Structure 1
Amino acid sequence: MLKTIFPAALILCLSAPVLRAQDLPDYVGSGQCAACHEAESQSWQGSHHQLAWTEPTADTVVADFDGTRFQNDDLTVAFSKDAAGYHAQITESDGTTTMRRVHSVAGIEPLQQYLFETEPGRLQSFDVVWDSEEKRWYHLYPDQSLPVGDGLHWAGPYKNWNARCAECHATGYEKNYDPATRSYASTQAEIGVGCEACHGPGSAHIDWAETGKPVEIPGVDAFGLTMRSTADSEGWIQQCAGCHSRREAFGDGNPVPGTPYHDAYRLMMLTPDLYFPDGQIREEVYVYGSFLQSKMYANGVSCMNCHNPHTAQLVAEGNAVCTQCHSEAGNTEFPSLPIADYDTPEHHFHEPGSEGAQCKNCHMPTQTYMGVDARADHSFRIPRPDLTPITGAPDACTNCHQDQTPEWAAQQIEAWYPDSDKRGPHFGTVFAQSAVDPAGALPDLLKIAGDEGQSDIARATAMYLMGAAADQQTARATAPLLRDDSPLLRAAAIRPQRAAPPQEQFQNLLDLLSDPIRLVRLSAAPDLLRAPVASLPPRIAERFGRVAGEWQRSLGNRLDFPETHLVLGGTALTMRNTPAAIGAFREAVTQDPQLLDAWVMLVRLEASVNGAEAANAVVEEALQANPGQPDLMAMQRELQQ
């Protein structure tokens, strides 16, 4: 049985060696690059990349620590500085007071955040931050009242810098979490996003510069760089996306620059918790998932067509960023681009120079995160206020014209563009329907999944949204996408196969064990674990075990995430390993006492293994962490009957 092929040790997810930066050239630091690349280095100095993470000094700290205070109903903070550094005296809602020294600084504008080392090696990002434009302290979550010990408290697992933030604020970062002691021994080559964060470790490149001899090291180009100098626009987009996306990492820290995106990360889909049904940004998703929806991406536009990667600034001011291509001159790099004058009232129907005449305000509407940080949607969509009544998504028109309705805006656009072909069917209406009627939306979700005219991320999301409504016909209709050229689609097509008969599902997924892309292999592994196969030929069993080990290591890199232990608990139950399941759910609630799903599973397992009395003890423990929680109280009443 599969249970013997994948022993209980799999559930423990002990890490095994994987390829890291030390197997390649060494990191040398951005200072080593400046001698030859002076202009680029000067551009980088003072950029948001360089200042993504810094030591606290008079040059980097922009907040007022000179005896200032912050106070709300639950928290009081007194800020100070002296020869030993910058400090915050924090009085929590329970009355406890601690003095914290600022370990380091994150960012520069429009806000700056401060990190505290709460125990050796463990860094936590504080919720009271500095608004660098308004020059004030403010709380990131003013409507939350979080006691010490809550998973979302600033000292909890979800605000842990080592696990949640550092890899995108550092160069050559390795998290090095020890699950046995729940401690960190994190390292990095350089804090801040330095040259080698994008180009790769530089020692072999320096050797090339000194000798002129082509470098002959596996995994690097002739110039000694892991991010190859011949990389095309797609390669650079994927390199930027490693940090500029909402994703789940497979490794322990930074992948070596040049690693294909889908070998390093699982991209989050256009799910209702992150995006509006039409694909507009809802939560902070860091650009890539939006950009993949755009016609600009489909036609070869890259990040660097609009952004200078060294200054991290736009390449031009205002509409000039857009009119470098969208103009009567056009751009020979993109021959399919329509030649027309877009920066004119005949196109935007607003006063020249006004806010309504700015391309970004209509085609890149913003959402504000962290209180003051307005982020632009990078799907570059044509405004569709006609969809808003169906999808509930915001529309760019009434973002400005707040005294008007989406219906009014739709009428205006139809009057301006009476013959437009841009108001046809949109996946957003189907995604909105799937939230309330998954079965009813299923036929249209299948059409979107098979529509090559849609973006890959929209097609992949359609398969994700099929969920429990999928049936055998759905599984068979999506099975061809398991062999699509797009790794995003191959991975997404795995989910609907759960509706296939077990043997058919197993046969459909078996070839994915040899897929060249890690995302696809790791997406197939947990589904294949569930397959009711009594035995496997040795060749397939060996391949199966190799991918299971790869999946094991990936989970092992995230053992400081409470949600990982939910996955482990569910997998243990699939393999009928009840003790491992109990251990996994127990670790989940140890890390996050408010993780209700884990408490519920613990109660049920205790009831089945040790009886009602043991289960009731777990319910009482859960209620201490979650007083008055209705689901737990209902379970308690049921156990006491």
Structure 2
Amino acid sequence: MRRSTRSRPQSVWRVLAVVFAKALLATQAPAQEDGYVGSDACAGCHTDAAEAWEGSHHALAWTEATPENILADFDGTEFVLANMRVRFRIGEDGTRFASVTERGGVTTEYPVQAVVGVAPLQQYLFETEPGRLQSFDVVWDTEKGDWFHLYPGTNPPPEDAFHWSGPYKTWNARCATCHATGFAANYDMATRSYASEQVEIGVGCEACHGPGARHAEWAEQWQTTQAAPPENHGFPRDLSDPAAFLDTCGGCHSRREAYFDGTPPAGTSYHDAYNLSLLRPGLYWPDGQIRDEVYVLGSFLQSKMQDKGVTCSNCHDPHSAELIAEGNAVCTTCHSAAGNPDFPSLPLEVFDSPEHHHHPEGSTGAQCRSCHMPEQVYMGNDWRADHSFRIPRPDLSAETGAPDACTSCHTERKPDWAASEIASWFPDSTHRGPHYGQVLARAVNSPEPVTDDLAALATEEAQPGIVRATAIWLMAQEGTALDAATLERLLADPDPLVRASALDAGRSAEQPEILLLIASMLDDPSRTVRIAAAKAMLGAPIAHLPGAMSVQLQQAQGEWQAALSSRLDFPETHLQLGGMALSTRRFPAAAQAFAEVTRLDPQHVDAWVMRARLAAALEDVDAVREILEAATAANPEAPALQGMMSQIDAQSP
């Protein structure tokens, strides 16, 4: 472990390293497990599925750097953005190279180590240290046939953590799990290096179905034995179960925090493998529309379709990942006068007609997705649809600040015009009543607490769980304490998101009845809830727990430690460790954790501030000055750091 700015005792950190090493054994990914056979072994029998999968975005999610896989023009092309320049060339053996001149003038040439994706853009991976892969920010537009920068407005310098070579762009840590089958990052905290491995690159058959050895063994013997198949045909998960699709697809198609070092053990349910991001400001608009790159699950969980049992495979072919039909035909498989017997609550009406969409047939406005799945662009040119399948509400735009589908197309118009048009089309609509977005918007934007509104939303069982969980989270941000009766009700909710948010909201409570309610959730069926309970118990004023509950606390704390140990290459993890250490008054450990945050992310001003405060408490003014000098060098315009440096200067003789 490299030392921080000043030499400090390492004993606490060594103890933590041992704890994390033990915990990591509990989070090992299935790359270490037996049972994988590889996609080639599946293709021999499942020819139709293999043919559909081959060439799909899943199959091409991560490929080798062969001339056939690389779509970009490396033959002497060049890309320039301000004072950053990239020259591309092809070596004599066909290897593709990028010679990168960074801001500051340093030039390094990298061979392309691997390829990511196929359309509408293709990205390339460089190995900057043995085993460490970084995703380069200059990518190839496969539609326009040209290079572009993913973040032209920022184009960060190499010393910035958000530079392509920084920790937020490390492929092993941030991306590889969802682009591979049976992946393990295998990060070594002591050497800060990776020994990553995977069963195969690309999203293969076993990425969704799980290890196939039992299935292959049964299939091989079946020709002679005619034996009945084992449960789920030998796979760890029954993909005919709608919930399994959310577990299988949602794991990668969501904004979340992972609990395992890479691919979760086969058959793990979503809330045992991940902590899903809520509808937080910056990630989603207050009405729940996608804003930042949150992928699909968080929006889909808001939809009535999900509530009625619709799954990914109702619209997408699971092997090609393509839509099951063209255009509106995807939607009219259910939304038509004929309906769909699998979903008996559907209104039997004609929707694909001008009488409903009020646009010329064949136009963009006549497409169901234009109104009900508005798109956002990510990664420069990748348009992705909101999967909450919402009814347009331009009448709420002024209140929520969220975009509306109508004026996203009719850019010359205002939302109030769109609201008037919709009201004239559907004068008797029942879809213009109160919306949860109004409450969430007030909570985010109002200077005054909206506690009562949030509490009512949190306990309104007809609302989606992710919405109610967000309301509870916002109550906690306002500093609102849940009373015991409300907390008990929320902890009995069937949705793990609601239960976990309720526990987070109760973390600062000290009343015995609240603490006992929190402790009662330490054996919850969901890992997300158990970890939330362990966090809520940290530093709780309890001298002793009953024997069984004490064991449950240790086990939940172990799961929390294991989750953290699988992400020790994340600045966010060390920020949590620093907070944990402060909560338990382990100040040297806190200083070490915040030092690791600033090593990984020198622009993390809050971590620098905590380091300086801890140095002031534990060491002397020279130690504080040394930290602040490094901090202001990395963040010369940060007011908080400038203010602290001014205070130190004022103390100097």
State if a TM-score over 0.5 links the two structures: yes
Match of 1:226 in 2: 236
Give the direction of change, closer, same or farther, for the CA distance of 1:475–1:497 in structure 2 (3 Å limit): farther
Give the Cα separation in 1 of the matches to 2:226 and 2:507: 50
**Contact between 1:30 and 1:194, CA under 8 Å: does it hold in 2?**
yes
Task: Please tell me whether the aligned partners of residues 29 and 260 of structure 2 are also in contact (alpha carbons under 8 angstroms).
Answer: no
Match of 1:116 in 2: 126
Amino acid at match of 2:21: L
CA distance in 1, matches of 2:44, 2:590: 55
Query: Counterparts of 2:306 and 2:447 in 1: how far apart (Å)?
Result: 30
Distance apart, 1:568 and its partner CA: 0.2
* Alpha-carbon spacing, 1:215–1:607, altered in 2? closer, same or farther (3 Å): farther
Structure 1: any 5+ residue segments left out of the alignment?
1-6
Cα 1:247–1:632, aligned 2, differ >3 Å: closer, same or farther?
A: same
Any gaps of 5 or more consecutive residues in structure 2?
Answer: 1-13
Give, in angstroms, the shift of residue 634 of structure 1: 0.6
Query: Within 2, Cα distance between the matches of 1:490 and 1:576?
Result: 28
Q: Is the 8 A contact 1:491 1:524 kept in 2?
A: yes
Of the three residues 73, 84, 89, the one matched with 1:80 is 89
Q: Cα gap change, 1:269/1:92 in structure 2, threshold over 3 Å: closer, same or farther?
A: same
- 1:595-637 Cα offsets, whole Å, 9 max, x none, are 1111010000001111333212211111111123221001111
Provide the rounded CA distance (Å) in 2 between the counterparts of 1:355 and 1:635: 56
Distance verdict in 2 for CA 1:617–1:12, change over 3 Å: farther
Shift of 1:216: 12
Q: Deviations over 1:401-447 (max 9, x none)?
A: 00000000001111111111101011111111111337532111111
Question: For 1:84 and 1:571, how far apart are their aligned partners in 2?
Answer: 51
Distance 1:209 1:372, change over 3 A: same
Give the one of 150, 170, 189 matched to 1:179.
189
Give the distance between the partners of 1:222 and 1:618, measured in 2 at CA.
58
Query: Is contact 1:75–1:92 with CA below 8 Å preserved after alignment?
Result: yes
Q: What is the identity, as a one-letter code, of the residue corresponding to 2:443?
A: S
Q: Check if 1:363 corresponds to 2:372.
A: yes
**After alignment, is 625-634 or 241-250 more displaced?**
625-634
The aligned counterpart of 1:486 is 495
Q: How many residues align?
A: 632
**Secondary structure, aligned partner of 2:113:** strand
Task: Tell whether 2:212 aligns with 1:205.
Answer: no
Change (3 A) 1:373 1:222: closer
**Aligned residue number for residue 14 of structure 1:** 21
Once structures 1 and 2 are overlaid, which stretch shifts more, 310-319 or 78-87?
A: 78-87
> In the alignment, what sits opposite 2:473?
464
- In the alignment, the residues of structure 2 paired with residue 149 and residue 216 of structure 1 have an alpha-carbon distance, to the nearest angstrom, of 60
Query: Residue in 1 aligned with 2:558?
Result: 549
Q: Is the 8 A contact 2:336 2:349 kept in 1?
A: yes
Where in structure 2 are the equivalents of 1:323-338 lying within 5 Å? 323-338=332-347
| Secondary structure, aligned partner of 1:440 | coil
Match of 1:158 in 2: 168
SS where residue 94 of structure 1 aligns? coil
Does the alignment pair 1:451 with 2:460? yes
1:616 aligns with 2:625: yes
Do structure 1's residue 135 and structure 2's residue 142 form an aligned pair?
A: no
> Partners in 1 of 2:564 and 2:43 — Cα distance?
38
Q: How does 1:507-526 map to 2 (within 5 A)?
A: 507-526=516-535
Please say if 1:54 is aligned against 2:63: yes
CA contact (8 A) 1:616 1:636 kept: yes
- Separation of aligned partners in 2, 1:64 and 1:10: 45
In the aligned structure 2, how far is the partner of 1:24 from the partner of 1:52? 23
Q: Choose from 561, 567, 574 the match for 1:558.
A: 567
Q: For the Cα contact (< 8 Å) 1:594–1:626, is it kept in 2? A: yes
Quote the Cα distance in structure 2 between the aligned partners of 1:582 and 1:310: 49
Q: 2:395 matched to which residue of 1?
A: 386
- Secondary structure of 1:77's aligned partner: strand
**How much does 1:39 deviate?**
0.4
What corresponds to 1:430 in structure 2?
439
Map 1:59-70 → 2, pairs under 5 A: 59-70=68-79
Give, in angstroms, the shift of residue 57 of structure 1.
1.4
Offset, 1:227 = 2.1
Q: After TM superposition, give the deviation of residue 472 of structure 1 in Å.
A: 4.0
State how far apart, in whole Å, the 2-side matches of 1:429 and 1:343 are: 30
Residues 216 and 222 of structure 1 are in contact (CA less than 8 Å); yes or no, is this contact kept in structure 2?
Answer: no
**Distance (Å, rounded) in 2 between the aligned partners of 1:215 and 1:14:** 44
| Aligned-CA RMSD value | 1.9
2:206 matched residue in structure 1: 196
After superposition, give the CA deviation of every residue in 1:462-489 in whole Å (9 maximum; x if it has no partner). 1111124243455642331112222121
Q: Which residue of 1 aligns with 2:451?
A: 442
* CA–CA distance in structure 2, aligned partners of residues 325 and 25 of structure 1: 42
SS at match of 1:173: strand
**Letter aligned with residue 583 of structure 2:** T
Paired residue for 2:179? 169
CA distance in 2, matches of 1:303, 1:454: 21
Map of 2:600 onto structure 1: 591
After TM superposition, give the deviation of residue 242 of structure 1 in Å: 0.6
Shift of 1:257: 3.7
CA distance in 2, matches of 1:177, 1:595: 22
Alpha-carbon distance in 1 for matches of 2:513, 2:507: 10
Distance 1:69 1:472, change over 3 A: closer
8 Å contact kept, 1:171–1:196: yes
Kindly tell me: are residues 80 and 22 of structure 1, through their superposed partners in 2, closer, same or farther at Cα, counting changes over 3 Å?
A: closer
What's the TM-score once normalised by structure 1's chain length? 0.96
- 2:325 matched to 1:319? no
Amino acid paired to 2:649: Q
What is the deviation of 1:535?
2.4
Aligned pair in 2 of structure 1 residues 216, 12: CA closer, same or farther (>3 Å)?
farther
Equivalent position amino acid for 2:554 in 1: G
Give the Cα separation in 2 of the matches to 1:31 and 1:473: 54
Match of 1:307 among 316, 323, 346: 316
Q: Residues 615 and 22 (structure 1 numbering): CA distance in 2 closer, same or farther, change over 3 Å?
A: closer
Residues 571, 601 of structure 2: 8 Å contact kept: yes
Contact 1:487–1:517, Cα closer than 8 Å, also in 2 = yes
State, as a whole percentage, how many aligned pairs show the same letter.
52
What is the rounded CA distance, in whole Å, between the counterparts of 1:423 and 1:534 in structure 2? 53
Task: State the SS of the aligned residue for 1:188.
Answer: strand
Contact 2:85 2:101 in 1 (8 A): yes
CA distance in 1, matches of 2:503, 2:235: 35
Q: Which amino acid aligns with 2:116?
A: A
Specify the code of the residue in structure 2 equivalent to 1:405.
Answer: K
Q: Give, in whole Å, the separation in 1 of the partners of 2:352 and 2:433.
A: 25
CA shift in 2, pair 1:316/1:519, >3 Å = same
Alpha-carbon distance in 2 for matches of 1:480, 1:502: 17
How many Å apart are 1:34 and its aligned residue? Answer: 0.7
| Partner residue in 2 for 1:4 | none
Contact 2:246 2:270 in 1 (8 A): no
Of 231-240 and 553-562, the range deviating more from structure 2? 231-240
SS of residue in 2 equivalent to 1:554:
helix
**Aligned position for 1:3:** none
Alpha-carbon shift at residue 9 of structure 1 (Å): 4.2
Displacement of 1:498: 3.1
- TM-score between both structures, scaled by the size of structure 2: 0.94
Mapped to 2, the partners of 1:411 and 1:369 lie a distance apart of: 31
The 5-angstrom pairing of residues 195-274 of structure 1 reads 195-212=205-222, 221=231, 223-228=233-238, 231-274=240-283
**Which SS does the other structure have where 1:308 is aligned?**
coil
SS in 2 for 1:452: coil
